[in-house]
Amino acid sequence: MPFAEREGWEKSDSKFCGVETDFSDDFRSLLSFNCNTDHGRFDFVLAPLMNPSYRPSLVEGINSETQVLPFAGSDLVLAPLEWRCRVTGKISSWIDLDSEDETLRLDSETTLKQEIAWAKHLSLRSCLLPTPKTTSCANYARCVNQILKGYTEMELWLRIPLMDSDSEDPKDSWELWNSFRLLCDHDSSLSVALDVQNMLPSENALGRWFGESVKAAIISTQCFLPTTQWYPYLLKNHQKLITRFFHHDVQVIVSGKPVFNLQKDSVNVTEGMQAYLDYLSNLFCKIEPLSAQELKEVIHRDRLHTPLQPLKENLEAHSYEMIERDSVKYTQYQRAIAKALEERVPNEKASELTTVLMVVGAGRGALVRASLQAAKDTGRKLKVYAVEKNPYAVVTLHYMVKKRGWEGIVTIISCDMRFWSAPEKADILVSELLGSFGDNELSPECLDGAQRFLKLDGISIPSSYTSFIQPITTSKLYNTVKSINSLSHFSTAYSVKLHSVARLAPSQPLFTFKHPEFSRKPNNKRYKNLRFNLPSDTGSALVHGFAGYFETVLYGDVHLSIEPTTATPNMFGWYPIFFPLMKPVEVHPKSPIEAHFWRCNDSTKVWYEWSLSLPTLSPIHNPNGSSYSMGL
């Protein structure tokens, strides 16, 4: 039964467990034995499709009209749905398309194409390609690339050993994968099946793989240790790794023969493999289920969205609803407003003084509610101006004023804050104009226009915000942008709930804005270059782009953040931003990454430009805002 068949887990086909088998002429019995008996109730088999003794060169001269290829039975031995859902094809492991032996090389190419064609005939979802025999795999990749261009509905998984960097062969297996996929031009149908070894690489080296297209983890029975009661278990590091694979929708496949405790004589060998499945099922069940909010957000994982532009375009009701659902954000705002009120008005004058508070960009009134609640909690008197340019949100604001009895306290202003003439100065200016990158919804420009009606000693909430940048590996997002088949999309920033991503180095602060800013000529243009260094034990990696975050000081010690190391717990109102690179760049621990980011503007728009200067030069992305900009 699929691991995910329990409450609190999204039901996808990525939580199944398979078993690797030997070749069998009787595919029906093979499937039944491993999936429907006490020996094993696995969800699918990873099985050879062709007799391993077959070599095309050995059957030359046989009449091609009568030759029957030694496949494992006909397509009739299983129902079409069983072939598709219960079988992953295993391409013959002996093939070596880069061999110096011409006969072996030609036999390998012929056999590879025959087996893939048979798998396509059976409508298999995926096939496992054997590990390249040498680091030089150009011909192997060429043949696979030809196949990928012809079969777009079937995935090919390249088997790669997850080697320990301290092993006898210090060659980084990631390098082997990277060479192969570069030769295949990052084809989205080519993925990785990792062979988990007894010895694991470092935590940082392992982390790279979670930004790659890993579809399966093949774990040998040799990785398990038997207990005295004959119950296999994994050591802590292997448990942690498999748990991470579960979270990243990686299929788990058990490989090898049962390893028994020799002190126990009563073990039933025919039931041996089921014990491994039972252990993995138990390991899965110990994982904390997703929360209700996380379940709702599963559909947004690694999906690219165009960031909102509330200044240029009026938000729709469903956008407001999503924004307002984040109660943590408004709780923090309420705390910040309460602190500002207490510092603005002493306790002894709380019943005398009325604080003028302006909510600029009031939307449907969430910050108005937070402000009035803060006044109630602190016993302060408040006069509120709710300034909103969206005429349809203003309708809701009027409704809220009547429904909640805010008449005489809240004045609604239907106007762009930059052009309103306020009848009086504000003590406190409150806004929620922050985007995924802090300033990307034009908070600086909006507040520059609004702060003219803030008293010289007035308070702005937020008082400052800073954007952050981090180099990441994310094959999934890169391939998504690449599939759009337009270079302009590589010069576009996207809002995305990052999931299949490897963060290669700690994030660094980029642009900071502070409010109020009473400079006569505020300048919101910015430029900064940053250097990132990979941890020494990471190994090589591929940078597909940069993740962007922000953190803000609302007031005093009240903060909000989506930067991973300081993120506000349980807040979900913002997803990170993603800046892709046109061409992924290979990086190494001894070679720093130097990135350049610009925030530019003219009279009609604001935009970002970005590029790399180390370890190699990249084009400047989005010059003059040609692909992506924020309208003023």
Catalytic residues: 432, 441
Task: Find tokens 């003794």 and name the residue.
Answer: 53
Q: Residues marked as binding for S-adenosyl-L-methionine?
A: 320, 329-330, 388, 416-417
Cβ-count burial of 365 within 10 angstroms (0-12 exposed, 13-18 middle, 19+ buried)?
buried
Helices first, then strands: H and E counts in the chain:
15, 26
Tokens 């999934």, residue?
476
Q: Which residues participate in the annotated binding site?
A: 320, 329-330, 388, 416-417
CA gap 342, 321 in Å, rounded:
31
Q: What CA–CA distance (Å, rounded) separates 546 from 595?
A: 9
Pairing of strands 508-514, 464-473: antiparallel
β-sheet bridge partners, residue 468: 509, 549
Return the DSSP state at 26: -
The 8-class DSSP code of residue 566 comes to T
CA–CA dist 154, 124 (Å, integer): 7
CA-to-CA distance for 76 and 80, rounded, in angstroms?
A: 8
At 420, list the tokens: 């309103």
Exposure string for 233-258, b = 16+ CB within 10 A, e = fewer: ebeeebeebbeebbebbbbbbbbbeb
The angle that helices 138-150 and 173-183 make with each other, rounded to 10 degrees, is 50
How far apart, in Å, are the Cα atoms of 246 and each of 216, 242, 253, 365, 629?
A: 10, 6, 12, 41, 38
Identify residue 450 by its one-letter amino acid code.
Answer: A
SS (H, E, C) 70-138: CECCCHHHCCHHHHHHHEEEECCCCCCCCCCCHHHHHHHHHHHHHHHHHHHHCCCCEEEECCCCCCCCH
How many angstroms separate the CA atoms of 237 and 24, rounded?
35
Q: How far apart are CA 17 and CA 213, in angstroms?
A: 18
